[in-house]
């Protein structure tokens, strides 16, 4: 059951959805040729909590737009600015863009940031902790903190391994987590040159081709390409707090295919996508310390159900609203973009 559901159709599908404000997102294509990069305003009706019937505006609006010469495989908004930073998945270099400004409706490229690897398999991950700094890298040995304006390298992650990264995020103002595709997790503090804390991948929990990681409120979740999900405390990543086998269609995945994310405004809920044409919501508080099969609390199948494509439709990206507890955006391989507010039937 939905409280709200609104749809939009892009000309080409996107792998990135990034909030630029509480009501606007950036999306961009990932084809090998020229791609649109757009800032979309969400339907006003979504935010009309009272008297929705009096709000006629149900459509997404293109606010700003531009073109990237290649694919956009990663995109991050720089907090407190009208800048976004992208990576094309072909090298570890980053592209810097200004969204609008000076009464312009154009998203224009205004700079670049050099990475540590000329050719990158899987592309760079990006985290933007401050308006003037970027953390980025394609592998654990490439991670660096760069001053956005000057290009000065402020910090590098010191490690001998070169594991491809699946995620890069800050868990506090200076402490970050680097999640590797093999399940390894590094935790490091950009204020010190001390060796990072390494938590090896959960090999004992069943070997798997790929792992994806997300952290929030002192918890870390690792999700494997076989659908195993492991929750740990950030202070003790070697110990599983809870463990589950998710109800997903296991298949051969690429690092950019799957997303797992904690809800920022809803306790103990995660969203999972990339295994099929659905986005699944799971409640981790009901999981135990022994592995068990679990069912989703909610499943958004709208992309697959409404698609006009003859090919199988897969969800390519999803993101929670930063403040609205049950509002998510999702995108799929047919170019569809949905914003939806789901209802927890167990609370009715």
Range with lowest mean pLDDT among 9-18, 92-101, 243-252, 264-273: 243-252
What per-residue confidence (pLDDT) applies to 308?
A: 77
Which H or E run contains 45?
helix 44-47
> For residue 54, what pLDDT is reported?
45
In terms of Cα–Cα distance, which of 39, 28, 131, 134 is closest to 89? 28
> Residue 209's pLDDT is what?
79
pLDDT digits (tens, 9 = 90+) for 220-251: 999 999 999 999 999 999 889 999 999 998 77
CA angle 30–167–60, rounded 5-degree value: 45
| Residue 151 banded pLDDT, cuts 50, 70, 90 | very high
Q: What percent of the chain has pLDDT above 90? A: 74
Distance CA 298, CA 301 (A): 10
CA triple 19-280-172, angle to 5 deg: 45
Whole-structure pTM value: 0.94
Q: Which tens digits make up the pLDDT trace of 290-328?
A: 889 999 999 999 998 887 777 889 999 999 999 999 999
Q: Which is nearest to 107 in space by CA: 17, 31, 40, 14?
A: 40
Reported as a single tens digit per residue, the pLDDT across 109-124 is: 999 999 886 555 668 9
Can you state the percent helix, strand and coil of the chain, rounding each to 5? 5, 50, 45
* Res 205 pLDDT > 60: no
169 CB-near residues (< 8 Å, 6+ apart): 127, 176, 177, 214, 215
Structure tokens at 69: 């010469």
Largest CA distance in the chain: 60
Tokens of 135: 């953390």
**Contact call for residues 214 and 170 (beta carbons, < 8 A):** no
What pLDDT shows up at residue 53?
55
Percent of the chain past pLDDT 70, that is, above it, reads 93
- pLDDT score at 119: 59
> What phi, psi does 176 have (nearest 5°)?
-125, 160
How far apart CA 144 and CA 142 sit, in angstroms, is: 6
Distances (CA, A) of 43 to 139, 264, 331: 38, 21, 16
Q: What is the pLDDT of residues 43-99, one digit of tens each?
A: 988 887 655 554 555 689 999 999 999 999 999 999 999 999 999 998 889 999 999
The alpha carbon of residue 321 and the mean position of all alpha carbons in its chain are separated, in whole angstroms, by 12
Average pLDDT score over residue span 165-189: 95
Residue 113 three-state SS: strand
For residue 78, count other CB atoms closer than 10 A to its CB: 21
CB of 190 within 8 A of CB of 158? no
- Can you read off the two tokens belonging to residue 328? 């998510």
Element (H, E) at 304: helix 302-306
């Amino acid at each position: 059951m939905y409280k709200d559901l609104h749809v939009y159709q892009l000309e080409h599908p996107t792998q990135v959805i990034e909030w630029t404000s509480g009501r606007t997102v950036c999306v961009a294509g990932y084809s090998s040729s020229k791609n649109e990069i757009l800032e979309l305003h969400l339907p006003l009706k979504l935010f009309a909590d009272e008297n929705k019937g009096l709000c006629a505006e149900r459509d997404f609006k293109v606010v700003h737009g531009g073109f990237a010469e290649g694919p956009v495989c990663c995109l991050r908004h720089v907090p407190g600015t009208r800048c976004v930073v992208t990576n094309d998945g072909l090298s570890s270099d980053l592209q810097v863009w200004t969204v609008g400004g000076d009464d312009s409706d154009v998203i224009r490229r205004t700079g670049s940031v050099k990475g540590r690897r000329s050719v990158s398999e899987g592309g760079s991950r990006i985290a933007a902790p401050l308006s003037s700094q970027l953390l980025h890298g394609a592998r654990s040995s490439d991670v660096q903190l760069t001053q956005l304006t000057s290009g000065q390298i402020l910090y590098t992650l010191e490690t001998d391994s070169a594991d491809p990264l699946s995620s890069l995020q800050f868990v506090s103002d200076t402490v970050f987590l680097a999640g590797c595709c093999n399940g390894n997790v590094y935790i490091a503090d950009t204020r010190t040159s001390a060796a990072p804390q390494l938590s090896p991948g959960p090999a004992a929990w069943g070997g798997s081709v790929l792992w994806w990681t997300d952290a929030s409120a002192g918890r870390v979740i690792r999700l494997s390409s076989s659908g195993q999900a492991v929750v740990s405390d950030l202070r003790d990543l070697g110990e599983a707090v809870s463990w589950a086998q998710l109800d997903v269609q296991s298949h051969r995945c690429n690092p950019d295919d799957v997303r797992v994310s904690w809800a920022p405004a809803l306790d103990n809920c995660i969203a999972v996508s990339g295994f099929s044409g659905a986005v699944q919501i799971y409640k981790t508080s009901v999981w135990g310390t022994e592995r068990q099969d679990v069912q989703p609390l909610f499943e958004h199948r709208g992309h697959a159900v409404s698609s006009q494509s003859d090919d199988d439709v897969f969800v390519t990206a999803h993101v929670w609203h930063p403040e609205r507890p049950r509002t998510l955006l999702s995108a799929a391989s047919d170019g569809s973009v949905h914003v939806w507010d789901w209802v927890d039937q167990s609370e009715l």
